Structure 1
Amino acid sequence: MVMRWWSDRWTQSAGAFFLEKDAIFFASARDFLAGVLAAVVITCWNLAAVERNAIVQASQKPYQTLSSRYLYKTHKAKSGRNIHDASFRVYRSSPAMAELLLFEDIFTITGIDTDGKKFDKVSRIEARSEQFDMQLVLDVNIDVYPIARTDKFTLALSSTLRLDGTPDDGVFDQSRKKSLADKYEYVMYGKLYKYDDDESGGAIKIGVYVSFGGLLMMLKGDKQHLGNLKLDQRLYLLMRKV
């Protein structure tokens, strides 16, 4: 009887001990998981705050342009739509950007599809530049990049999208590395297939013709502003509205 009594007491005590240990373990595990969850929430909040600050700083930083007379700021919303601020200030371009771009100017649209619309998703725009007085005729995929008669835009030409100026192979880089394209809204890649001189009117002007997969561009003006462009050269066209 005594032995049985001691056995029952030991069993009850041991059971209570293990139940207590299990309760402590589960309470500790619960507190641990709650701590991990709180740490994850705090980390995500801090990362979101950093991203918001980066977006604000980027929106306040002017895009670089070759023209020292103009500054146009463009902000991109999270939806992907572009919100344009037409205010401008005096700005000095960086030498690195000047070396990277073969041409850049701000254009005012003078006509859209003046010969009639040929394709539903493509419009042919005519424009003239403000600084170099260049004449432009350009096919734009308006399904991807809508454009209106009242729009003004910056157009640039470059042989590479790499910020260090090294040549690229013309293939879309999915690594999300920073590139020249980040400073613009619409980019095409093509080949300069025709180059001609126009000496009418006294001043020597040249015209360059580029095909971007069938979308054509004609850019004509003073030779000194297009002297860096060569026949059969591969080019990027980059645009952003101002």
Structure 2
Amino acid sequence: MSDAQLFEDTFTVTSVNSQKYDRVSRISCTSTDNLTTFTLDVNSELYPCAVGESLSLALASTLSLDGKNEDASGAGRTGWRDVGMGENTLANEYDYVCHGKVYRFEEGSTAGNMSVFVSFGGLLLHIDGPYNKLVPLRIDYIYLLLKK
């Protein structure tokens, strides 16, 4: 994991629910070690998922490969959209990227676990896992990165 990445793991899609909205599916996934689970709303037109697929999930504080915050880069960038032509970022390595706000923490489903809740413009993430793996997520804003 680079300095920018706060969490990274491989998951298997255990369920896909696309009944409530036309272009949004709620996927539920379990990590390969069965310690971490997440539920995520994804734009199913942009990133369709099926039960049994394997996904790599990363949560990062910045897309900068050197781990520097976008606002502190000194390059005059004001956010993730101000990427120059040919400039490599963490997003280049993933298929689906969102930026969102961490809005709640709770005790997890089992002892020693914690739950983190993030909103990506209304698309929600709930991740539950060991405290020591998820404690770096105690920041205001994060990037979600997915690839198959």
TM-score interval for Structure 1 and Structure 2 normalised by the shorter chain: 0.7 to 0.9
Match 1:138 to one of 40, 60, 63: 40
1:108 equivalent in structure 2 = 12
In the aligned structure 2, how far is the partner of 1:223 from the partner of 1:149?
A: 27
How far residue 217 of structure 1 moved from its aligned partner, in angstroms, is 0.2
Give the strand-richer structure, 1 or 2.
2
Match 2:89 to one of 163, 168, 179: 179
How far residue 131 of structure 1 moved from its aligned partner, in angstroms, is 3.5
Amino acid in structure 1 at the alignment position of 2:112:
I
Give the helix-richer structure, 1 or 2.
1
In the TM superposition, what are the counterparts of 1:64-213 in structure 2 within 5 Å? 66=1, 97=2, 99-113=3-17, 117-131=19-33, 133-168=35-70, 169-176=78-85, 177-198=87-108, 201=110, 203-213=111-121
> Could you report, residue by residue, the CA deviation over 1:185-241 in whole angstroms, capped at 9, with x for unpaired residues?
11000000011113x64x22100000000000000011000111115x110000000
How far residue 151 of structure 1 moved from its aligned partner, in angstroms, is 1.3
> Could you report, residue by residue, the CA deviation over 1:106-165 in whole angstroms, capped at 9, with x for unpaired residues?
00011111xx61111000000101136201000010111111113110000001000111
Structure ID, larger Rg: 1
In structure 1, stretches of 5+ residues that fail to align are 1-65, 67-96
Q: Comparing both chains, which one has the higher relative contact order based on Cα–Cα distances under 8 Å and sequence gaps of 6 or more? A: 2
In the aligned structure 1, how far is the partner of 2:147 from the partner of 2:91?
A: 10
Aligned pairs, how many?
140
Give the direction of change, closer, same or farther, for the CA distance of 1:180–1:117 in structure 2 (3 Å limit). Answer: same
1:227 aligns to 2:135 (yes or no):
yes
Q: Does the Cα contact within 8 Å between 1:105 and 1:131 map onto a contact in 2?
A: no
In the aligned structure 2, how far is the partner of 1:221 from the partner of 1:181?
A: 24
1:240 aligns to 2:127 (yes or no):
no
Q: Does the Cα contact within 8 Å between 2:16 and 2:49 map onto a contact in 1?
A: no
State the SS of the aligned residue for 2:133. helix
Amino acid in structure 2 at the alignment position of 1:173:
D
In the aligned structure 1, how far is the partner of 2:45 from the partner of 2:55?
A: 17
Q: Does the Cα contact within 8 Å between 1:157 and 1:237 map onto a contact in 2?
A: yes
In the aligned structure 2, how far is the partner of 1:197 from the partner of 1:162?
A: 31
State the SS of the aligned residue for 2:64. coil
Q: Does the Cα contact within 8 Å between 1:159 and 1:235 map onto a contact in 2?
A: yes
In structure 2, stretches of 5+ residues that fail to align are 71-77
The Cα RMSD (Å) is 1.6
How far residue 175 of structure 1 moved from its aligned partner, in angstroms, is 1.2
